[in-house]
Amino acid sequence: MATVDQAAAELQPLLRGTYVDPSARDYDEARALYNAMIDKRPAGIARCADVADVIAAVRYAREHDMRVAVRGGGHNGAGLGSVDGGLVIDLSPMKGVIVDPHTKTARVQAGALLGDVDHATHAFGLAVPAGIISTTGVGGLTVGGGLGHITRRCGLTIDNLLSAEVVLADGTPVAASPDENPDLFWALRGGGGNFGIVTSFEFRCHEVANVIAGPVLYDLDDAAELLAWWREFGPAQPDELGGFFAFLSVPPGPPFPEELHLRKVCGVLWCYCGSEDDPACLREARAFGRPLLDGVGPAPLPALQSAFDAVYPPGDQWYWRGDFVQAIPDAAIERHVEHGAAMPTWKCTMHLYPIDGAASRVAADTTPWAYRDAKWAQVIVGVDSDPANAAAIRQWCIDYWEATHPYSMGGAYVNFMMDEGQERVQATYGGNYQRLAEIKSEYDPENFFRINQNIRPA
């Protein structure tokens, strides 16, 4: 194991980027994660400027027996983008995005954030389907799966991955695609950061520039009725209409009317990404019940995908749990209504994201994402800016999860998990776990990449 001074002296000259160790002025800034509940102190952070830096950092860590964490956007809820006492291979300086409008593809470096991709693709009227907050990293989101507003029409992010460039556990750079290292390519599409460090992704883009979208919010007393209606209505709609159900508190600022600020509500955030100006499905969706607020209107997709950024800046306390859901029986609705009403702080929320439509028309073994028959990915999110509320948001989240988990399919989206143990990881990959373990033993037999939702070598 290298000493801190030795690493600074030996690794820095090998990098075009910078090496940050605990003596550096910007160490605290460089080690901070999006989730402030997690406070890790790495031995050093290699801020990689290019693929050569990534190779050098991997080789250095191997030679000196250092534990390694890979950091893209630093958004991982469980803090898997950092490691106590080890080396963080930080890809955040690598943010390049090149769009080819002729082939409708985008080559994205692994340190890019979702907002970087939206910015680059939107200029061409194109989009890569990904997540709903622009500061999330493309790296972690993609290797876990990737779901968001346009999933029903365009599929998961992994369904749009065409190829990747990867640095393996021994420092070798390789390509992964249906033609080159196809096993590795299969595993990267949902198997997390277990198989190597992706340095760039090639995505298929879709012609989605503007959407008609926004929240329709209701009184909490309407939650049971709304959820019972939405569970039938949503899956019956054309793929162009997505809408996730949420419990939330109305944010205390514009554009929300003052009389609703901080009121606990339920609602659906609708997003229509088709070509009609006034689609019947969205008209029908908005006609349901007696909304407190209807904020649906035309918007550029990047505006929608950054609409929550101000509410959820980096540095809040986060604790979340997820599940895949195929049906929401009335008994589950009762549990949702009870726990949704008990959100302990105003940033707490619960979302049920639709993952049917295009995402469900992929076979369960085409990628590691085993739950193609799930209709929704549920996430219960305890959030607050005050560390004094950390225990309360965590407990609320766990209580809510324990009450609704029995109605779930057993596994969860890996990117909506905390550190919940091997059983949960195995449940998440279901019938695909064994193949993942075999590919792991081929590409990373010593489990060098283990700061992740870990798949142990077979």
Ligand X SMILES: Cc1cc2nc3c(=O)[nH]c(=O)nc-3n(C[C@H](O)[C@H](O)[C@H](O)COP(=O)(O)OP(=O)(O)OC[C@H]3O[C@@H](n4cnc5c(N)ncnc54)[C@H](O)[C@@H]3O)c2cc1C
Q: Which spans of this chain sit near ligand X (rule: CB under 6 A)?
A: 34, 69-77, 80-81, 91, 110, 131-133, 136-137, 139-141, 143-148, 192-193, 197-198, 312, 415, 451-452
* Residues 239 and 322: beta-carbon distance below 8 Å: no
Interhelix angle for 433-443 vs 422-429, to 10°? 110
Of residues 148 and 214, the one with the C-beta less far from ligand X: 148
How many CB atoms are located within 10 Å of the residue 327 CB? 12
What is the b/e burial string over 79-103, where b = at least 16 CB atoms within 10 angstroms of the residue's CB?
A: bbbbbeebbbbbbbbbbebebeeee
| 303 Cβ contact list (under 8 Å, min separation 6) | none
Of residues 110 and 285, the one with the C-beta less far from ligand X: 110
Of residues 73 and 291, the one with the C-beta less far from ligand X: 73
Of residues 228 and 311, the one with the C-beta less far from ligand X: 311
Q: Tell me how far, at minimum, the Cβ of 254 lies from ligand X, in Å.
A: 21
Residue 431 structure tokens: 């019938």
Q: Tell me how far, at minimum, the Cβ of 313 lies from ligand X, in Å.
A: 9
Beta strand pairing call for 264-272 and 376-384: unpaired
Q: Tell me how far, at minimum, the Cβ of 40 lies from ligand X, in Å.
A: 11
Q: Tell me how far, at minimum, the Cβ of 161 lies from ligand X, in Å.
A: 12
Of residues 61 and 333, the one with the C-beta less far from ligand X: 61
Q: Tell me how far, at minimum, the Cβ of 384 lies from ligand X, in Å.
A: 14
Q: What is the DSSP string of 320-356?
A: EEEEEES---HHHHHHHHHHHTT-SSTT-EEEEEE--
Q: Tell me how far, at minimum, the Cβ of 412 lies from ligand X, in Å.
A: 12
Of residues 336 and 351, the one with the C-beta less far from ligand X: 351
* DSSP for residue 240: T
* Residues 298 and 211: beta-carbon distance below 8 Å: yes
Quick check: bond before 255 cis, omega within 30?
yes
Q: Tell me how far, at minimum, the Cβ of 85 lies from ligand X, in Å.
A: 16
Q: What is the DSSP string of 33-74?
A: -SSTT-----SEEEE-SSHHHHHHHHHHHHHTT--EEEESSS
Of residues 132 and 250, the one with the C-beta less far from ligand X: 132
